[in-house]
Structure 1
Amino acid sequence: MSLKIGWIDYLNTLPFNFELTGIKTDFGYQLVKGVPSQINRYLREEDIDVGFVSSAEYIENFKDYYILPDLSISSLNKVHSVLVLSKKPVDQITEIALTTASKTSRYLTRIVFERFFNKKVSYTQLEDINSAETVLLIGDEAIAYRDKFSYTIDLSGEWYKHTKLPFVFALWCVRKESLQHKKSEIIQLSSVLKKSKEKFFEDIEKYIKEAKIKFDTDFAKFYLKNLDFCLSSQHLESLQLFSNYLLEMGLIKGKPDFRIINI
């Protein structure tokens, strides 16, 4: 039975695209595509074996998952694609329309406004970007709309400013049952993803052009080189701090263990 891999076609996932970089696999697989919130649900509901999921998804359901080592999408300061965009300055913001595409970013918005800014705002579900005064957007959508609003709050930048730690947006996670039944394939996938990441940055311009993305090549290079795709002790410290804030705010029920597969 082939390995079902949850896949997100965002600019920030390009380095892991082993089909693009030509890293061959010795196992059968199926890519199941969606936005982050969909991939979270697919992993939770056992529709996929392994996937790139929001950090919040792991934190909330850590008992069901393990983490692939050395892989993440993180930012060491500003991320440029997880943004609260507004027509008003921060002190005038009273309501934020939140994208449904990522739970991690929704939680981070609350931490930034309620803990870092000490500001109470109301939250609604985003329905129409163009009619909203203040919105949370992520990924390619955030990049596309970043110049259409007067004020920009880079959530990862605010996290770094207040914690001096990178922010971990997403992790490669595998279901416990899948690790038991498809361990060989998952270990191979972990190796393939690492090799793809390394190969991508050896000739970043070539792969950006081959991917035929909708963004300017120079911006894409700047954006991707600005990101961090590792998972070090510092990243784990940041995940623990993020979890502590969520626990204090009553957004999660218990403190997670970060269980990384020993490969």
Structure 2
Amino acid sequence: MTLRIGEIEYANIQPFFDKLDRPQLVAEGFQLTTDVPSRINQKLAGGSVDLAGISSFSYAQHAEDYSILPDLSVSSKGEVRSLYLFSKVPIDQLNEKGVALTASSATTVHLLKIILLSFYELNVQYHTMKPNLDEMLLTHDAALLIGDDAIRAARTANNLYMYDLGELWYQHTGLPMSYAVFAVRNEVLSTHENELEKIYQALVNSKQLSESNQYQDLSKRFTLKQGGTFDFWQSYFQNLWYHFNEENKRGLLYYYKLAYEYGFLSKSIHSISVWSKVHS
């Protein structure tokens, strides 16, 4: 048995997967499973995958069981353009109003709650719904969409206020926000070290090849797959941060601090365990 890899199906994490030699990995026994963030989170927590790109919030919930792979994340320093609060009224008028939430990502749901509580001092009523903007806004004053759902909705969201959560976070903290990280279950570190190093290097190589190509191949693929323009997709990928350094860590730890203070996390997170057994 070799490693089972969880792959989030959203565009924003695809630079790590687009240039993988999938037939070769499968031939060597690696298994790749694709799903939305919430279900990939569950699969890693349940042990049905060994390594995955997961919501940053999910890492905090299982910090004692996971280690993060170095220099891999989906982050932004400012706008992210795929995490939007769509609102019928200005954000500071949402107090005591209803907000519909997507169920797709714990990180972004709690980021929105932190932003509204900590930065705007708003109390709102939340309800989780399927990610359909029109249906969400039939019964709510605002709606949160993420990932590809948010990108599609933003194209036709006329007469609505749109708030980019990455931009709001950066405006109020001056810190980057990491939405997804790559985590590995700790029991794999010693039992599958060679396989872990191989898949880690494959993810790094895919990221580097995508970047050196200026994300052209990815941009063409998503223009055909989801619409929009090539220029939009290229600038979208170029705007994201795909590393995980000390500044990312500071931003994520501050997010965890606020999440704990507001009761979204049951335990305080003071450090992030990063896997270090990487050979050149």
Q: Look up the match of 1:220.
A: 233
How far residue 196 of structure 1 moved from its aligned partner, in angstroms, is: 0.7
Q: Look up the match of 1:129.
A: 133
Unaligned runs of 5+ in 1: none
Q: Look up the match of 1:259.
A: 273
Q: Look up the match of 1:86.
A: 87
In the alignment, is the contact (CA less than 8 A) between 2:19 and 2:210 conserved in 1?
A: no
Match runs of 1:201-220 below 5 Å: 201-203=211-213, 204-210=215-221, 212-215=224-227, 216-220=229-233
- Percent of paired sites with the same residue: 32
In the alignment, is the contact (CA less than 8 A) between 2:36 and 2:104 conserved in 1?
A: yes
The one-letter amino acid of 1:260's match is V
Matched residue SS, 1:123: strand
**Aligned mates of 1:77, 1:169 — CA distance in 2:** 12
Match runs of 1:41-190 below 5 Å: 41-93=42-94, 94-127=97-130, 128-131=132-135, 132=137, 133-146=141-154, 147-149=156-158, 150-190=160-200
Taking a change above 3 Å as real, the CA distance of residues 225 and 138 of structure 1, as seen in their structure-2 partners, is same
Taking a change above 3 Å as real, the CA distance of residues 23 and 58 of structure 1, as seen in their structure-2 partners, is same
How far residue 92 of structure 1 moved from its aligned partner, in angstroms, is: 3.0
How far residue 28 of structure 1 moved from its aligned partner, in angstroms, is: 2.3
The one-letter amino acid of 2:170's match is Y
How far residue 24 of structure 1 moved from its aligned partner, in angstroms, is: 5.8
- Asked whether 1:199 is paired with 2:209, we answer yes
Matched residue SS, 2:64: helix
How far residue 210 of structure 1 moved from its aligned partner, in angstroms, is: 4.7
Matched residue SS, 1:62: coil
In the alignment, is the contact (CA less than 8 A) between 2:3 and 2:29 conserved in 1?
A: yes
Q: Look up the match of 1:9.
A: 9
**Aligned mates of 2:21, 2:190 — CA distance in 1:** 29
Taking a change above 3 Å as real, the CA distance of residues 82 and 4 of structure 1, as seen in their structure-2 partners, is same
The one-letter amino acid of 1:100's match is A
How far residue 160 of structure 1 moved from its aligned partner, in angstroms, is: 0.4
How far residue 69 of structure 1 moved from its aligned partner, in angstroms, is: 0.4
Q: For this pair of structures, how many residues does the alignment match? A: 263
Unaligned runs of 5+ in 2: none
Taking a change above 3 Å as real, the CA distance of residues 87 and 80 of structure 1, as seen in their structure-2 partners, is same
